[in-house]
């Protein structure tokens, strides 16, 4: 429990991701120290051959380390085996084949690239207006939902990480209808929205997604919520959890999802002091 809230972190990386900074054991120790009820590891799985980390993911090693952590910490902490899939439409069949033979508790779909170009880099932005740059990103997220392959949309509006430096402060208004369509699809398909707190420490100044879009999701009937810090280092684990929980509650979302074997269970956020 953190600040009276049932506390999860479902966007966590370890040395089982190419860019992780800590062992699974170290992240679990930190989780217990800060009062997390449940930790969901979401190691990166990449498919784009241009991505230098494409061959890094090792399922057997990962699963083994999770099982050892469960033996050591299982009484104090629920530990979930998840994956953050880098989604691009052109390798959707490879993702499908991969998920058919590897069991996970939950699957996050994240868009970091569109058509092989990293979001909001000069090569991506070339020839696009700011609106086009964001619209293509939201289109790609909608494709990830329609694929039927994912349980959670990871860090929606992550495009802002480089979009804000490239284009200036983010105005969500022009994308409202498009994002409403995306959320409608998520509600229909039972795909959860993640409130990712990394934006609060990455200079963006808001969560991914921004509060206006959490409100829009709730207003369209969205109830499936995940929360993640995108921690690659134990220092960031569970960071800004109170802000995420209060953002959800202020919009009438009163529960968070925990996942086992890709089935969600809703747990009330408020536990009382
Ligand atoms: Zn990511």
pLDDT of residue 28: 98
Q: What is the pLDDT of residues 19-43, one digit of tens each?
A: 999 999 999 999 999 999 999 999 9
The percent of residues above 70 in pLDDT, for the chain, comes to 99
Separation of 272 CA from ligand 1 center, angstroms?
Answer: 32
Contacts of 39 (CB under 8 A, 6+ apart): 8, 9, 10, 12, 27, 28, 31, 77, 78, 79, 80, 237
Separation of 114 CA from ligand 1 center, angstroms?
Answer: 13
| Averaged pLDDT, 113-125 | 94
The percent of residues above 90 in pLDDT, for the chain, comes to 93
Separation of 50 CA from ligand 1 center, angstroms?
Answer: 16
Separation of 112 CA from ligand 1 center, angstroms?
Answer: 7
All domains of the chain in start order, with CATH: 8-268 (3.20.20.140)
pLDDT of residue 239: 96
Question: What's the CA gap between 88 and 133, in Å, rounded?
Answer: 16
pLDDT of residue 273: 55
Q: What is the pLDDT of residues 210-263, one digit of tens each?
A: 999 999 999 999 999 999 999 999 999 999 999 999 999 999 999 999 999 999
**Its pTM surpasses 0.95:** yes
Question: What's the CA gap between 265 and 257, in Å, rounded?
Answer: 5
Question: What's the CA gap between 269 and 260, in Å, rounded?
Answer: 18
pLDDT of residue 171: 92
- Contact between 70 and 62 (Cβ < 8 Å): no
Q: What is the pLDDT of residues 52-62, one digit of tens each?
A: 889 999 999 99
Separation of 102 CA from ligand 1 center, angstroms?
Answer: 20
> What single-letter DSSP state applies at residue 234?
G
Q: What is the pLDDT of residues 45-82, one digit of tens each?
A: 999 998 888 999 999 999 999 999 999 999 999 999 99
Q: How many helices (H) and strands (E) are present in the chain, helices listed first? A: 9, 11
């Amino acid at each position: 429990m953190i600040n009276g809230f049932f506390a999860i972190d479902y966007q966590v990386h370890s040395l089982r991701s190419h860019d992780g900074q800590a062992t699974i054991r170290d992240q679990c120790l930190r989780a217990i120290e800060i009062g997390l009820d449940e930790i969901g590891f979401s190691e990166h799985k990449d498919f784009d051959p241009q991505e230098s980390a494409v061959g890094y993911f090792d399922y057997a090693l990962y699963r083994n380390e999770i099982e050892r952590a469960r033996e050591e910490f299982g009484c104090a902490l629920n530990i979930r085996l998840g994956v953050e899939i880098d989604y691009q439409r052109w390798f959707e069949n490879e993702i499908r084949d991969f998920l058919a033979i590897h069991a996970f508790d939950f699957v996050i779909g994240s868009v970091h690239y569109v058509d092989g170009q990293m979001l909001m880099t000069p090569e991506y932005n070339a020839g696009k207006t700011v609106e086009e740059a964001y619209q293509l990103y939201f289109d790609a997220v909608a494709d990830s939902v329609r694929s039927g392959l994912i349980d959670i949309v990871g860090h929606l509006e992550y495009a802002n990480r480089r979009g804000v430096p490239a284009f200036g402060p983010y105005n969500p208004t022009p994308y409202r209808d498009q994002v409403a369509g995306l959320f409608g699809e998520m509600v229909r398909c039972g795909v959860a929205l993640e409130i990712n707190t990394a934006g609060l420490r990455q200079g963006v100044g808001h969560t991914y997604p921004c509060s206006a879009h959490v409100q829009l999701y709730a207003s369209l009937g969205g109830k499936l919520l995940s929360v993640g810090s995108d921690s690659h280092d134990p220092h960031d684990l569970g960071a800004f959890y109170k802000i995420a929980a209060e953002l959800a509650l202020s919009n009438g979302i009163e529960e968070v999802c925990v996942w086992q074997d890709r089935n969600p269970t809703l747990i009330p956020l408020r536990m009382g002091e």
